[in-house]
Amino acid sequence: MENPIWITGAGIVSAIGLNKLEVLDALLQGRSGIGPVRHLRTVHTDLPVGEVPLSNDELQSRLGIPSGTPIIRTALLGMWALQEALQDARIDTELLSDTAFISGTTVGGMDKSEQYYPDFLSNDSRNEYIALHDCGSSTELIADHFGRFGFVATPSTACSSALNAIIAGANLIRSGLADRVIAGGSECLTRFHLNGFHALMILDSRPCRPFDASRAGLNLGEGAAYIVLERPSTAQDRGVEPLVTLDGYGNACDAFHQTASSPDGEGAFLAMQAALSDAGLTPADIDYINAHGTGTPNNDSSESAAMFRLFGDLVPPVSSTKSATGHTTSASGAIETVICLLALRHQFLPINLNWSEPMENGLIPVRDSRPSREVRHVLCNSFGFGGNDSSLLLSKWQKP
């Protein structure tokens, strides 16, 4: 791409690691973070999840937040990931006023709302937690922990929220409205969250198996991730080089159904096609696709159809890393963008765990992390309810 956007920093926290190095090690070792519930208070202990292995108290202590401070888990996870991204890109508090912050979420402060709602009805003694319910509150809490950003926004488009936050940030840079944007998303597990997906009958009581013939649903996860998007000149002014580049992106909404994907994968097809066109690349240029790959019968069939439509018989290596992290819903697009960044930087293919048997009319996902050719361009897919589908195209940076 003639004028790529530089990605100069990244931070992540998930069930497979508290930072990029831990996540990288888990991916290279094929290690899953999905297991029994530990922190979420729920009766559904039979449903495996991908929890971040730190309690709220542990996160607060490590972040230096005084005990008793009204806080929500979505914000704590976001603070943890944003801290790494800022350090990675060498951004100090003096630069925040010239930096936009866009964080996608859907659950927001639901963890405390569901805990204190009975109290709210009876005596209103926990209103400071109820006030943190809406999605924007989590973003404000994360931002305020570090300083005052020049611009703050909170996209909420279900499971494509974080990827759409990145797209919004890229559009700010392209339009000249910002030189530097930190974008991504954060989402914690809640009972509302778990029960809602359980009511839709799309949760698996076993570890999920994306693109497998026996797939029976998803495992919910939680986490956060952010990337630092910059105009090259802004990064060069402080002597920072890119980790990778963001060369293209696309968003489409097929509005096929409130929750289901269309049989022909129209929204996914249009999003990937737009990302390729935006980057000025062809399907043959793509070396890896990080699929949305939820492990539900509907999504994996629909996404496979979309990839066959776009790539024909030459679909590049594909995997779903939700088999390791769980489906982190609104944060998934950012978490998987950072995983794609790691794949480009370290030249490997993330393995699709738990796969054993091809699904009907489906693809065979990655089972060997060693690429057959250089990994230069990757697509990252993230699809939301209502058919709000997005795709990013990241590229390996070649120093001039």
Which residue out of 39, 133, 135, 159 is catalytically annotated? 159
d(CA 229, CA 246): 8
Which residue out of 39, 133, 193, 327 is catalytically annotated? 327
Q: Residue 327 catalytic?
A: yes
**What does the block give as tokens for 253?**
């909404």
Which residues does 398 contact at the CB level (< 8 Å), separation at least 6? none
Q: Residue 159 catalytic?
A: yes
Asked if 19 and 99 touch (Cβ cutoff 8 Å), the reply is no
Which residue out of 208, 292, 377, 380 is catalytically annotated? 292
Asked if 72 and 111 touch (Cβ cutoff 8 Å), the reply is yes
Name the residue among 117, 159, 109, 371 with its Cα closest to residue 267.
159
Question: Distance of CA 396 to CAs 22, 100, 223, 272, 286, Å?
Answer: 21, 24, 25, 18, 12
In terms of Cβ atoms closer than 10 Å to its own Cβ (0-12, 13-18, 19+), residue 345 is middle
Q: Residue 380 catalytic?
A: no
Three-class SS state of 394:
strand
Neighbours of 303 (CB within 10 A): 30
Catalytic site positions: 159, 292, 327
